[in-house]
Amino acid sequence: MDQENSKRRGRPPATSRDIEAAREAVIMASYPVYAEHGYDGLSVERIIAAADISRPTFYKLFANKHEVVEPLVWRASRELLARVKGAAQKTREPVERLGAIADAWLNWARELGPLVRILYREINHPESPADSARRWLIEALREVFQAHSREAGMERLDPLFLDTLVMVMEHTSASLFDHGAPTSAAITRRRRIILRILIASLARPAEYAAIPPLPRQPEFVTLDTRQHATTKQSPATPENDRD
């Protein structure tokens, strides 16, 4: 009886609805594995172990690991765009709009978790779906910022300049998980950095007074002294003010 149940466990469902449900279960089970190992480190073996399925079942549901990762990447990219667009439509006031965009981006990254680092790391990986999804995303984000500049009465912006702004936001948000789960201080630090750059780049000169102050640099051990020094926590610096 146990052998019969074991054989049946690996069989794919018969209906299209059940097949989609089974595919979705494998995709979601692969989420933390992909977030930890990235595209190159993700293998079919790791996927079937995480999803608790057999290899034959996997290949009846997917042709390869790319088909598992692709939905994860595109969902994350589409969600980011939707949030940025929604934030941009909340207000017509330029500085408030830029603040809403910064908050939307950082909240997306915080909720996405460590996967945000993998997406950033693989934006130029020719085999990872993160590469094509990112090229689509950056085109769409250009339009969001061009619309902002039009409403603010600014000239049309250089696409290369807009790409640079997106790269700043990508790098700043991806670093949220450099030291584990992000603290509120880490999020505030990154928000200030993003806002300084966005307001200085996309606001009118009369609005420059809204540029936030530079964030305080957290304590760290430099490369030159790492071998010989240990970081000491100042009583005036909260422990959660790490980067």
Higher pLDDT, 230 or 197: 197
Which class is domain 69-210? mainly alpha
Domains 10-64 and 69-210 share a fold: no
* Residue-level pLDDT at 129: 97
- State the Cα–Cα distance between residues 99 and 122, nearest whole angstrom: 27
What pLDDT band is residue 11 in, cutting at 50, 70 and 90? low
Are the C-beta atoms of residues 103 and 172 closer than 8 Å to each other?
Answer: no
Residue 217 confidence (pLDDT) above 70: no
Residue 237 confidence (pLDDT) above 90: no
Higher pLDDT, 240 or 152: 152
Q: Residue 83 gets which letter from DSSP? A: H
Q: For residue 196, give the 3-state DSSP assignment.
A: helix
What pLDDT band is residue 205 in, cutting at 50, 70 and 90? confident
* Residue-level pLDDT at 40: 97
Are the C-beta atoms of residues 46 and 63 closer than 8 Å to each other?
Answer: no
| Polymer length of the chain | 243
Domain boundaries, the chain: 10-64, 69-210
Task: Give the distance from CA 42 to its chain's centroid.
Answer: 18
What pLDDT band is residue 223 in, cutting at 50, 70 and 90? very low
* Residue-level pLDDT at 152: 84
Q: State pLDDT tens for residues 12-71.
A: 556 888 899 999 999 999 999 999 999 999 999 999 999 999 999 999 999 999 999 999
To the nearest whole number, what is the mean pLDDT of the chain? 86
* Residue-level pLDDT at 144: 95
Residue 92 confidence (pLDDT) above 90: no
What pLDDT band is residue 180 in, cutting at 50, 70 and 90? confident
* Residue-level pLDDT at 210: 85
Fold topology of 10-64: Arc Repressor Mutant, subunit A (1.10.10)
* Residue-level pLDDT at 86: 97
Residue among 50, 190, 47 at smallest CA distance from 116: 190
The one-letter amino acid code at 122 reads E
